[in-house]
Structure 1
Amino acid sequence: MRHILVHLDSGERTAVRLALATELATRFGARVTALFAQSDRYGPGIVARRAGPALEEAAAAAKAAAEAACAAAGVACEWWQLLHGERNHVVAETVICARYADLAVFGQYDPAGDAPVPEDLVEQVILNSGRPVLVVPAAGSYATVGRRALVAWNGSREAARALGDSMPFLAGADAVTVLSLRGAVESSVAGRVPPVDIAAHLASHGVTAEVDLVPPNEAGVTNMILNRGADLASDLLVMGAYGNYGFPFGLRGSNTRNILREMTMPVLFAH
């Protein structure tokens, strides 16, 4: 993990994301790219697609904050700014920018928030960037993440991507718990699956993990995950996004959207 992108806007939560991004850069020896991207409250210029004065002013303030935070942490900082704030432009260009980093740090969408960010921005980045996305809750402070990690594991492609992408965190964690939901996946092929073991796989990376098995008919997957995280005082949830494997009767992506709405700790998503 050598390049961390952090999304900035004019909201108060920008400071929380900046502090976390610089802490991660220090921990992993990475550089930080600060990306300013938000909708223009007054729309882009009519004659030319360009940012309005208010958007330029907000970008300048965010740039100063990013440079100060990186300088204080002693990490290299790069500045990226979108050309204007038209909604589709913001979403499409942010997705592209996230592809050029090892990890993208975003904030949970807050409908009552103070920054005009497209509601589906984080979802689109998770779905289309091809990179792991660390989403920071809209409330609370998070000086560090990944010391006590909780992995939601169901054996799906998305979960495997998330597990691999989170390995830098897991390798340095003080405690790792795997919440195994694989029973629902294997019920239809019982007896035909080799004796796979996620704990053994993690051990090959030097990660010692406790595994909690969840019954296949477990109801309320979102609440169960978040409650288990609270019980363990977890500071990071790792999960695959927008798959329905292992979640009986669930619509594709429903648990991802539930977690995005109700998260109580930073979540590393991968799709």
Structure 2
Amino acid sequence: MSYTNLLVHLDDTERCEERLTLALSLAQSHGATLTGLFAQSETSGAGIVTRRAGPALLQAAERAKDSFEAKAREAGVKCRWWQLGHGEYGHVISETTICCRYVDLAIFGQHDPNGDNRVPPDLIEEVVLNAGRPILVVPHAGRFPRLGDRPVIAWNGSREAARAVNDALPLLKRASSVLLLAFHTHPGGGEGGNVPQVDILEHLASHGVTAEQERLTISTMTPMDAVLSRASDHGADLLVMGGFGGYGGSLFPLFGRGSNTRQILRQMTLPVLLSH
């Protein structure tokens, strides 16, 4: 099992280079084709009104294309280029979401509230929720030369968590150490509670993935604070989790639908693979 088609979101920001480097590394290791998707909001009023890309947006796309194709050639990665027709807010979200449906994994950069962002701030949330494909989000700060050697899985037995584990299998199978964090909402939940003790480990083992499991009880710390803290202790280089509904509902009734995903997207310090 491997990824054969990857997509990396590109724009005209300096941080774009970091996620492109990571995407090229993934494409190399999996022998995958990498699609560069240029999707950026229009800064020219004329472009927004006419629903056509303005000159500044076209120039930014051309710069991004030249850089993408040159780096792909240098890395020996087969590539293709897509770009949106214009940069109207809703168009960027809807068309980017559709493009992600035609690949195995899409790679995006975390929104930086204090940085130079060229896309809608809710782009990643909308793509995770509606694309039907796993989304790998790269933090807006830091360098990530390796990915998936020491992944952590946030597991609560939900549909979204199950999808995330399955979507991440090509990465998990190559890992040297996999830590699975299984959650209880209160002490004394019993061995047969919301999270089966052995089933997910058996499933991973059937794919050649040996994982260590830890059971965490959520008390004063929010689920995502607990995940991030343990991931840091583990020296993790990837977090795998279900997006949005995966940490809402009956398992964590004190937290609204999607609240934990949004917290991760704000506070993440390592790459996160999200599935919905």
Fold match by TM threshold 0.5: yes
Q: Which residue of the other structure, out of 251, 254, 263, is the alignment partner of 1:249?
A: 254
Matched residues, percent identical?
A: 54
Which residue does 1:17 correspond to in 2?
Answer: 19
Which residue does 2:30 correspond to in 1?
Answer: 28
**What secondary structure, in the 3-state scheme, does the structure 1 residue paired with 2:164 have?**
helix
User: Where in structure 2 are the equivalents of 1:155-166 lying within 5 Å?
Assistant: 155-166=157-168
User: Where in structure 2 are the equivalents of 1:225-240 lying within 5 Å?
Assistant: 225-240=227-242
Which residue does 1:76 correspond to in 2?
Answer: 78
**What secondary structure, in the 3-state scheme, does the structure 2 residue paired with 1:59 have?**
helix
Which residue does 1:65 correspond to in 2?
Answer: 67
Letter in 1 for 2:212: E
Instruction: Please give the alpha-carbon distance, in whole angstroms, between the structure 1 residues aligned to 2:194 and 2:49.
Output: 64
User: Where in structure 2 are the equivalents of 1:121-270 lying within 5 Å?
Assistant: 121-181=123-183, 196-217=198-219, 219-243=221-245, 244-245=248-249, 246-270=251-275
1:44–1:256 Cα change, 3 Å: farther
8 A Cα contact 2:11 2:40, kept in partner = yes
Instruction: Please give the alpha-carbon distance, in whole angstroms, between the structure 2 residues aligned to 1:249 and 1:44.
Output: 46
Instruction: Please give the alpha-carbon distance, in whole angstroms, between the structure 1 residues aligned to 2:189 and 2:150.
Output: 30
Instruction: Please give the alpha-carbon distance, in whole angstroms, between the structure 2 residues aligned to 1:47 and 1:140.
Output: 37
1:69: Cα distance to partner? Answer: 1.2
8 A Cα contact 1:91 1:121, kept in partner = yes
Instruction: Please give the alpha-carbon distance, in whole angstroms, between the structure 2 residues aligned to 1:44 and 1:237.
Output: 41
1:187: Cα distance to partner? Answer: 5.2
**What secondary structure, in the 3-state scheme, does the structure 2 residue paired with 1:150 have?**
strand
Gaps of 5+ in 2: none
Q: Which residue of the other structure, out of 103, 108, 127, is the alignment partner of 2:105?
A: 103
1:111: Cα distance to partner? Answer: 2.0
8 A Cα contact 2:157 2:196, kept in partner = no
1:182–1:171 Cα change, 3 Å: farther
1:135: Cα distance to partner? Answer: 0.2
* Count of aligned pairs: 270
1:46: Cα distance to partner? Answer: 6.3
8 A Cα contact 1:43 1:85, kept in partner = no
1:45: Cα distance to partner? Answer: 2.7
Measured on the aligned residues, the alpha-carbon RMSD in Å equals: 2.1
Instruction: Please give the alpha-carbon distance, in whole angstroms, between the structure 1 residues aligned to 2:45 and 2:263.
Output: 31
TM-score relative to the length of structure 1: 0.94
Instruction: Please give the alpha-carbon distance, in whole angstroms, between the structure 1 residues aligned to 2:157 and 2:113.
Output: 33
**Runs of 4+ in structure 1 over 2 Å off:** 43-48, 186-197, 216-219, 245-248
Q: Return 140-149 or 255-264, whichever deviates more.
A: 140-149
